[in-house]
Amino acid sequence: MDEHPMTRAQRLRALFFSTLYISAFTFGGGYVIVTFMKRKFVDELHWIDEQEMLDMTALAQSSPGAIAVNAAILVGWRVEGLPGMAVAVLGSILPPMVILTVISFIYQAFATNPYVALVLKGMQAGVAAVILDVVCDLGGDVLKTRSVLFIGLMVAAFVASSLLQINVILIILAATAFGVLRAVYQHRKAVRR
């Protein structure tokens, strides 16, 4: 039990500064940000559990829009409802907006600078490592379930995307349809009992 529970204002402030920090210091898109959100909100603050984060990641990925903002919406809503959602989104979008605004003023010098190009190449390598970490982390959670169905779906999605070059949107739609059908089947099965 937490000896000093946070007030709502403290939670909102922590949510804002956490999403602001994560958004400002992570490069590589939504998957990278989701990893850092998991570390912050699941591992450090214990506001949500791993299964919820996995579900939120799936929802954020399958919803239209940026994964980072979608994940911030879901985490913020889960932590503090509508105010939490607003604060988390604001924290997530402020850094990119400020950075893009500054870059737009100096774009020509920025685009042709060889040092900037080298920094961006280095960031690509770092992003690849973080995405691999996400895959291992979330894939490990699926493997821990020991569910033949879930592991089979994960392998099928990998094969469809990597080897068969099937569009990721089609894979997401197929997984969504499968999930809906499975939920309907389980609901009907429970009602019959």
Query: What is the per-residue pLDDT across 70-111, written as a single tens digit (0 to 9) for each?
Result: 888 999 999 999 999 999 999 999 998 898 888 788 777 777
29-77 pLDDT per residue, tens: 667 777 788 888 888 889 998 888 888 888 888 778 788 888 889 999 9
Max Cα distance, the chain (Å): 69
Q: What are phi and psi of 17, to 5 degrees?
A: -70, -30
pLDDT at 1 over 60: no
Q: Hey, what are 22's tokens?
A: 């994560």
Check: CB of residue 82 under 8 Å from CB of residue 90.
Answer: no
Residue 193 vs residue 81, higher pLDDT = 81
- Of the listed ranges 46-55, 111-120, 156-165, the least confidently predicted one is 111-120
| CA angle centred on 147, ends 144 and 150, rounded to 5° | 95
| Side-chain half-sphere CA neighbours of 100 within 13 A | 5
How far apart are alpha carbons 68 and 130 in whole angstroms? 15
